[in-house]
Structure 1
Amino acid sequence: MNSVALFFRCLAILFKAQMQYRTSFWLLSLGQLLVPLSVFAGLYFLFERFGQLQGWEFFEAALCFAVIHMTFSLSECFVRGFDSFASLVVSGGFDRLLVRPRGTVLQVLGSRFEFTRVGRLLQSIIVLVWACMNLSIDWTIMKVLTLILMVVSGVFIFTGIFILTATLCFWTIQGLEVTNILTDGGREMAQYPLHIYERWVRRFFTFVIPFGCVNYLPLLYILDRTEGAAWPYALAPLAGFVFILPCLAVWHYGVRHYRSSGS
């Protein structure tokens, strides 16, 4: 069985396992729908009170909100194994993964999925459709591809951060909560247009952790608000694919230097 088939086999098995408790599954999914809804309500009332935010209208910001929450929900669903990796190190379970004839990245990915994140994903899709219906966007094939690329790239960025967080566990054993600054904090920051922040914040989240390349820069292209050539804005999401490469390199470095937890 090849790696892709094995990944989807793990996906199917864990989905069946979670559906054994259907009431719990749907209640958790409902909770994942309502929690970000309260955050979106805060965004709505902010614009209801002030009208606009440094030149950005409500539905433009809503599109920004939808994209980043969609990428985060997909990441939490399919990359949860890295987010909870500390438990594998503490229990010694990662030692078993090392003796199996498969790559560690695939095995950690397939160790856990959180399908209840479908609630957050559904809310993001609803906001995305609502925003697009209320914006005068001249949709082209390139803009549609850019929007898809934004979502995929965002998943890669969050995945890269989860991988870096998991790699730290090789030396710290326990996960470090400070890394949530880049996951939860990055999500909260990126749900608003990057233009409203200080210059150093914009530079950090464009050239170091490229959240700005996921929703802000390509959104300027989709909304026809670019200055100069438009193609760099449309291709900005490719930064997410570049970002994950050093994250994987750091992971493999950590695996080579892993000495077991002693459990």
Structure 2
Amino acid sequence: MGSAALFLRLVKASLLGQARYPASALMLTLGQFLATGIEVIAVWALFHRFGDVQGWTLGEVAVFYGLANCMFAIADALGRGFDVLGTEFLRTGAFDRLLLRPRPLALQLMGHDFRVSRLGRLMQGVAVLAFGTVQAGVAWTPEAVAIALFALAGGVALFLGILVLQGTLAFWTVESLEIAHVLTYGGVQAAQYPLALYARWFRRVLTFIVPLACVAYYPVLAILGKADPLGAPGWAGMVSPLAGFVFLVAASVAWRFGLRHYASTGS
């Protein structure tokens, strides 16, 4: 069986397991939808109280918000195995069983627990993106659609890379540190707003260290047809999502380094 077929079978097995408890799966999905919906209310309250923020309208920010949440929802569903690596694999010794299987380790972790509940965040992101499209008057030309899909792929790669780094830390810490959520959930929060609203030092972090701006800010500017107040060229949004794939490659290198230093549980 090829890697792709094996991954699909693992995902199918995970989904079938959750389907045995349909009420639970539905409630978890609804919970994800409502929990992230509270964030939408907070964004709406901000613009309702103060109006446009430095020239950015509610509709434009909704496009940022919707795209960022779609990216994270997909990456979170794919990278669940890395998120729980410390608690479910390293501490119990179950990670050794994965190492003995003649299949790619990353693929086994990605197919370990494909959560249907992440569909709640994805649906909420799509709904907000649709709202932003109407409010901001986005014209979904073939070029805009291509940029959005490229940005989505780059964003998924970036957030998946962050989850891989989180799992890599567990080789030394045994447990996945909560501080790693600063880059996952905190990264989603940061990508929900235009880069121009942040301080200069934070803009550099979001561009050159954890390139969230490259997968969200610049592509959305191209989709909106809006000039960057920071002076970036108009073509930046067409190529900047590549940074997400570069980040994932760098995270994979770190993962292999951590894997070489894994010494089992000793049990």
Q: Fold match, TM over 0.5?
A: yes
Q: What is the 5 A alignment of 1:1-263?
A: 1-86=1-86, 87-226=88-227, 227=231, 229-263=233-267
Matched residue SS, 1:81: helix
| Residue identity in the other structure for 1:77 | A
Is the CA contact 2:169–2:176 (under 8 Å) kept in the aligned structure 1?
yes
Asked if 2 retains the 8 angstrom alpha-carbon contact of 1:194 and 1:202, the reply is yes
Q: Post-superposition shift, 1:252?
A: 1.0
CA deviations on 1:73-111 (whole Å, 9 max, x unpaired) are 111112111111112000001111111111111111111
Structure 2 residues without counterparts, runs of 5 or longer: none
Percent sequence identity over aligned pairs: 40
Report the AA paired with residue 22 of structure 1: P
Q: TM-score, normalised by structure 2?
A: 0.95
Runs (4+) of structure 1 exceeding 4 A deviation are: none
Give a deviation string over 1:137-185, Cα, whole Å, max 9, x none: 3432221111111111111111001101101111111111111111111
Alpha-carbon distance, 1:229 to partner: 4.2
The separation in 1 between residues aligned to 2:79 and 2:52, in whole angstroms, is 35
Q: What is the letter of the counterpart of residue 142 of structure 1? A: E
Give distance in 1, aligned partners of 2:239 and 2:9.
33
CA RMSD of aligned residues (A): 1.2
For this pair of structures, how many residues does the alignment match?
263
The offset of 1:135, in angstroms, is 2.0
Deviations 1:173-208 (A, max 9, x none): 111111111111111111111111100101101111
In structure 1, distance between residues paired with 2:110 and 2:32: 21
Q: Distance in 1 between matches of 2:159 and 2:5?
A: 23
- Unmatched segments (≥5 aa) in structure 1: none
Distance change in 2, residues 1:149/1:28 (3 Å): same
Distance 2:263 2:138 in 1: 54
Q: Residues 91 and 163 from structure 1, CA distance in 2 versus in 1: closer, same or farther, beyond 3 angstroms?
A: same
Secondary structure at 1:137's aligned position in 2?
coil
TM-score normalized by the length of structure 1: 0.97
Tell me, yes or no, if the aligned pair for 1:64 and 1:191 is still in contact at 8 Å. Answer: yes
Whole-angstrom CA distance in 1 between matches of 2:265 and 2:62? 45
Q: Which amino acid aligns with 2:70?
A: M
Shift in CA distance, 229/211, structure 1 to aligned 2, threshold 3 Å:
closer
Retained in 2: the 8 A contact 1:173–1:261? no
- Supply the distance in 1 between the matched residues of 2:240 and 2:141 (Cα, whole angstroms): 17
